Amino acid sequence: MKKTLAVILCMALIPISALAKFNDVSSTDNSYQATMHLAQYGVLAGDTEGNFNPNAGITRAEFAKIAVIINGGVAGNSASGLFTDLSEGYWANGYINAAAKNKLILGYPNGTFNPESGITFAEGVTIILRLLGYTSGDLGNNYPDAYLEKAAQLGLTKGFSLTANDLLDRKSVAIIADRALMCDINTSNSRKSKLITKMNYTMSDECIILATQAESRDLMADEVSTSIGTYKTKLENIGEYVGATAKLVLDTDGNIAGIIKTEKKHKKIAVENVAGKELSYRENGAASTIKFDNNYAVYYNSSKSTYADIADEIEEGMVMDIYYTENGGYDYAILYKSDMEGPSVIYTDEDKYTYGTPTRVIRDGHESALEKLEKYDVIYYSKATDTLYAYCDRATGVYEKAYPSKADISKITLSGTDYQLETTAAVNALNENAGAYEINDYIVCLLGKDGKIAAVVPKGKETSSDKCGVILSCDERVSDGTKKYYVTCLSANGNEQEFETDKDYSQKRGKIVSYSFDEGIFKPSLINTSQSFSGAIYQPYKAIGSYAIASDCKIVDVAYAPAAGENHDAIAKVIELSEITKTALSSTDVIYCKTENGKITALFLNNVTKSGYQFGIATGVATLSSTATYTVDVDGKENTYSVNFVTYGITKNAPVMIKVEDSRLLSIEKLTPITTSGKIESINKNEIIIGSSSYKMAKDAKIYTCVSGTTDFRIVSADDLDLTKATGIKVYSDTGVSSGGLARVIIIAVKK
């Protein structure tokens, strides 16, 4: 044992970078911080196996070396010792000689030193006090009581219950010595210095340790960002102190040699979302919220800021370390960028379990489960929240250009839109590698959380919905004397894009087509839409009838499709299933539906949301055999339209819905009356209650009043309506209420 400890002490000046952690010292041990500090300063070290041996005893020779190092000295002549029991060449001769000359450790009256004897509690405390500059002149000759009392006053022995003659072990020496290093040296000078300065170290002002390279890629591997500047360090355990308030122990080169941590209560949380001053988070898996004042101090990107200044930059998956004052008040917080791992792509069912079994799965912004993830989902994992995030957005189109070149690619243009590449997998699929996509190829890209391309669907693996859509508009342009044709298409996966084509496809506007590409040229083919599809809508399950809606299928509602010969563009938009108020879709509601493997992969509806319509009252109607003039009041303003068509059933004062584009009336339809009974009980922007029945109102519902017996219609808001004057009511819907129709126009008769 003595030989082993001698070897350990001989290693006390090994490079700091090797002094990271000890196998046998846990972060929960009361000696942990002290042991780490003394290792960082080169005072103590472990054995060749990485152990500190905290419970082993310590000899007088070993303590002599510790004292000399702390005193800032070097070993003296090691060839022979000053004491009779030190043999020539003894490993500690130089340290014992230096300690004796500086009167740190004295020998015995018989001329011996007893180097292999253990050191007692009283002896160890006395040596530490001598290092601090205390002498018998300061403490008197009442040994050891006066020395033990002074040590207690300085806080060196707090928590110890040893007697004067009890032998010290290594962990106790580490604790006492570490405390002493932060004590003032006993001197008559008014300007006090800490004991640690004897080792040529200096102390910084108190600061906050903000980041290492693990938190900020702007830092080098050996750099640490603090609230008072950036420093270099060789400390391998520096990451343990990130977020802490501390003083820095700096060596002669100004590099961090040690950290003196100020203990502060804090908690580390994982951000879920932010709404104004309220932040939702998870701590150890439990969900909660916290409110911040705008002026609260927050450190982000190694700079001090306020919550108000950085609130817009806080994102889901970020980590925040919140520190508190001694009385429990808010002190400061440190915000770290997202710790997301990924992205990875699900190519097979086994890929779903890349990150084990997380406590939460968020897919497309909604709570989900592992079994609901699908092929080609792009996934990320947040260790802080133990949450798996899945994204199923796609970008499809013609691969037009690579930047800065195909051989060194970082960005591409896809049918006129630029996308950054996020992964090497995406790069390899689009660069000059064998088998990579070529310029003018049609490609399907999988987008990650930031809208960057995480992967590209392999050639030949595209689904039919990737090449299916509704043609919205057509255009002709002349370039360099050559006429070129273009179409704008809204695909089944929700992408609206313009493609160059081989001819004019104006007659296919509003039609559902499949398409292929030849050298980047779009070629559409009409899809047979005569097949019938209908079914009940199950909102919670995102299903229609017995079919679930596939993740990459967006519901496209075609608001307007021009008739043959009409020179108008089609109108369509992507909608959510929740926007459909109907409880079921009929065959007339569905233009085209494609199903594969029990899922709906393409769905085009016939204006089920009435998107793009305006609602009002036809205050004037004049028709001929094939032409008509309609005057319509919308929001209290009348407009007159002359059109080359007649819609039968439209009479003066009839509630209608109209579609207008560029001041041209495209269509006009009569609304459906709702049978009601009773008086108006209440009305607001969401519903109207008549008698004992409640009717849902559209967000843009129009409320008109007219004096009983007249047709003087006046538009009013629900808030301005005086129900005490109401004498009657008529409610009109876009379709039957039982089918999910909404109240669109309400006419209330009022007293004069």
Instruction: Report d(CA 122, CA 135) in Å as an integer.
Output: 15
Put the strands of the sheet holding 654-661 in their side by side order: 637-643, 628-634, 613-623, 654-661, 664-670
Partner residues linked to 490 by β-bridges: 470, 496
Are 352 and 344 in contact, with CB atoms under 8 Å apart? no
C-beta pairs of 134-143 under 8 Å, 24+ apart in sequence: 134/186, 138/186
Instruction: Report d(CA 505, CA 683) in Å as an integer.
Output: 48
Task: List Cα–Cα distances, 13 to 19, 69, 136, 178, 750, in angstroms.
Answer: 10, 9, 32, 17, 97
Residues 6+ apart with CB under 8 A from 137: none
pLDDT tens by residue, 115-133:
999 999 999 999 999 999 9
Q: Where are the beta strands (DSSP E) in 565-635?
A: 571-575, 584-585, 590-596, 599-605, 613-623, 628-634
- Note if the bond before 404 is cis, omega within 30 degrees: yes
Residues 6+ apart with CB under 8 A from 669: 647, 656, 657, 658
Instruction: Report d(CA 236, CA 247) in Å as an integer.
Output: 17
Are 132 and 180 in contact, with CB atoms under 8 Å apart? yes
Distance in angstroms between the alpha carbons of the first and the last residue of the chain: 110
Instruction: Report d(CA 267, CA 253) in Å as an integer.
Output: 34
Q: What's the pLDDT score for residue 356?
A: 76
Q: What's the pLDDT score for residue 10?
A: 36
Residue 533: name the closest of 611, 607, 580, 603 by CA.
603
Instruction: Report d(CA 219, CA 232) in Å as an integer.
Output: 10
Residues of the chain with pLDDT under 50: 1-20
Instruction: Report d(CA 563, CA 156) in Å as an integer.
Output: 93
Instruction: Report d(CA 243, CA 205) in Å as an integer.
Output: 16
Please tell me what DSSP assigns to residue 376: T
Q: What's the pLDDT score for residue 409?
A: 95
Q: Please give the structure tokens belonging to residue 615.
A: 């609602």
Q: What's the pLDDT score for residue 213?
A: 86
Domain ranges of the chain: 2-199, 202-262, 266-336, 340-391, 396-462, 467-611, 613-670, 672-750
Are 560 and 571 in contact, with CB atoms under 8 Å apart? yes
Q: Please give the structure tokens belonging to residue 263.
A: 């203990």
Are 316 and 328 in contact, with CB atoms under 8 Å apart? no
Instruction: Report d(CA 573, CA 524) in Å as an integer.
Output: 20
Residue type, 151: A
Residue type, 55: N
Instruction: Report d(CA 215, CA 224) in Å as an integer.
Output: 10
Task: List Cα–Cα distances, 193 to 130, 162, 180, 301, in angstroms.
Answer: 15, 29, 12, 34
Query: Whole-structure pTM over 0.75, yes or no?
Result: no
Q: What's the pLDDT score for residue 77?
A: 63
Would you tell me which CATH number, out of the four given (2.60.40, 1.10.1330, 2.40.50, 3.40.50), belongs to the domain 266-336?
A: 2.40.50
3-state SS class at 172: helix
The phi-psi region of residue 356 (left if phi > 0; otherwise alpha if psi is between -120 and 50; otherwise beta) is left
- Note if the bond before 562 is cis, omega within 30 degrees: no
For 312, counting Cβ atoms within 10 Å of its Cβ (0-12 exposed, 13-18 middle, 19+ buried), the class is exposed
Q: What phi and psi, each to the nearest 5 degrees, are found at residue 3? A: -65, -40
Are 706 and 713 in contact, with CB atoms under 8 Å apart? yes
Residue 426: name the closest of 397, 455, 406 by CA.
455
Q: Please give the structure tokens belonging to residue 315.
A: 């994102």
Please tell me what DSSP assigns to residue 204: P
Torsion angle of alpha carbons 102, 103, 104, 109, nearest 10°?
Answer: 140
Q: What's the pLDDT score for residue 27?
A: 82
Q: What's the pLDDT score for residue 76?
A: 63
How many CB atoms are located within 10 Å of the residue 175 CB? 23
Instruction: Report d(CA 65, CA 159) in Å as an integer.
Output: 26
Instruction: Report d(CA 485, CA 88) in Å as an integer.
Output: 100
